[in-house]
Amino acid sequence: SVQPPEKPLQAEEWNRLRESFRSPEMFEEVMFSSMIRCNTPIDVAKSLLTHVARSKGDIAYNLLVKYLALCVQQGQTSEIRDVYDIMKIKFKILESGAYNLLIKGLSNSDQWRMALTLLEEVKNIMIPSRTNYESCIKAASRHREMNLAVDLYHEMLSKDLVPTLDVLQAFFDFSRGMKGAELQKELFGILIYLRENQIYPHKTFMRSIKLWFESIPGGNWRGHLTNIKDSGQCPVCNHQLESSDLTEEEYNNLRERIIRDVIHGTDTFRKTSPQEFEAFQTFVENRLPFDIVIDGLNVSHIKPRKMQCENLFDAVNCLAKENARLLVLGRKHMLINSSNWKTEIMKEMQNKADFFFAENISEDDAFLLYATLRSGKHCKFVTRDFLRDHKACLSDSLMRQLFRKWQRGHQIVFSASAGGKHINFLPAFCYDCVVQTTGDTWHIPYKNTFEEKYSYQVPRKWLCIQQK
């Protein structure tokens, strides 16, 4: 690559540089890219543009866009406008790259309203990107035009664009201390959006939410950070959180859909065979209901140094307390005596739990879901699997939401701190880990900013907000 000069150059100096470059036909393009990278002063870029315009009588579109990027990077508002004027004269329409830059650049300046005009222009030729909306919404809310920001936000949702957490947070940041029932309703709406899409705000976002609540004039809201007890009670306000149980109707819907979409899918033969599935159904119906369904193969890998059947044995023993009815799902190969699967231990386990052995080529997770859902709402299941591929088989978002809720409330996972000899399990939560409200209280789970989160892991930290 080339190093851009520090000062504007004369024509002959540019010519000399160009000739020393190994592919002169690409010189201007490469030079502009490296100017963007080095954040070179725009006067240098201007001198190159002038040189190009003089020698060729025209400047190519891609060079103009690159120059525009440099201007946006340096917040050169009047230059951005000039480039826009020139582009509008030369070209009938612009493409998304130029519009993205123009909107981004202008929305950060005192001419932010111009960005709105450009957004309208984009709409004539395509669906604007979510970052287009993001720039405009942030600009509007920065200038306290919350109604405008809200309108744009709804417009973006109606176009199926997913807002970034950043935009949502901006609403809370810029509405701080503002009056107005309408605006409050909108922000509550955003919290409901978090609830419906099972989004957990990160720590700084949570703080913006807290500060906004506490700033509502005459609202008397107070927020506290807390951990919810295992019983589901909030230690700050003693409020009992929503139960993780699904309603009868939700549960039945979910069950039917999982059997239809996940287990059968488009072709029963892909995951099992009709004969096998029928055999399994009969097996389950004759022994219902179970309390816990265990993915045997998955559990047998918990401790890699141990024999697989020992791991399973420990898990079964640990879960068999209090006369719980267990079902272990396995594959036929577990029944053949081998270094990992000892026949005596397998026999002993079969006294404590029911076992179903599927063909070695069938997918046992489908059976896991079926047996658990058939046993009823109280039944839990054990696996380390995230079940992501099964969730993906569900066609609509409402069902996926229900699936996640059910998963949160019914999946027993291994405790990570199990350093000792014994296997430990974390019980499934009896309360549901989502944003929730009763009108005069809000409970909002949040995560530390860069925390890794699996679908079965939920945040343990909460923001409790109550109205005094």
Residue number with CB closer to other proteins (86 or 157): 86
Smallest gap from Cβ 165 to other proteins, in A, equals: 21
- Cβ partners under 8 Å of residue 354, min gap 6: 287, 290, 325, 326, 327, 328
Smallest gap from Cβ 309 to other proteins, in A, equals: 22
x/- contact string, 32-51, with other proteins (CB under 8 A)?
-----------x--xx-xx-
- CB hemisphere CA count around 147 (13 angstroms): 4
**What spatial distance separates the first Cα and last Cα of the chain, rounded to whole Å?**
64
Residue 13 lies near other proteins (rule: CB under 8 A)? yes
Whether residue 453 contacts residue 459, with contact meaning beta carbons closer than 8 Å, is answered with yes
Task: State which of residues 7, 321, 422, 468 lies at the interface with other proteins (CB under 8 A).
Answer: 7
Residue number with CB closer to other proteins (66 or 255): 66
Residue number with CB closer to other proteins (264 or 380): 264
CA distance 304 to 345: 18
Residue number with CB closer to other proteins (7 or 422): 7
How many residues bind to other proteins according to rule CB under 8 A?
41
Whether residue 399 contacts residue 257, with contact meaning beta carbons closer than 8 Å, is answered with yes
Residue number with CB closer to other proteins (185 or 270): 270
Whether residue 391 contacts residue 403, with contact meaning beta carbons closer than 8 Å, is answered with yes
Q: What is the DSSP letter of 216?
A: S
x/- contact string, 360-389, with other proteins (CB under 8 A)?
xx----------------------------
Give the torsion sign (CA, 464, 465, 467, 468): positive
Residue number with CB closer to other proteins (92 or 305): 92
CA distance 271 to 249: 27
- CB hemisphere CA count around 205 (13 angstroms): 23
x/- contact string, 63-92, with other proteins (CB under 8 A)?
--x----------------x---x--xxxx
CA distance 428 to 441: 25
What are the residues facing 393 on neighbouring strands? none
x/- contact string, 241-270, with other proteins (CB under 8 A)?
--------------------------x-xx
Binding site for other proteins (CB under 8 A): 7-10, 13, 29, 43, 46-47, 49-50, 52-54, 57-62, 65, 82, 86, 89-95, 97-98, 125-126, 267, 269-271, 273, 360-361
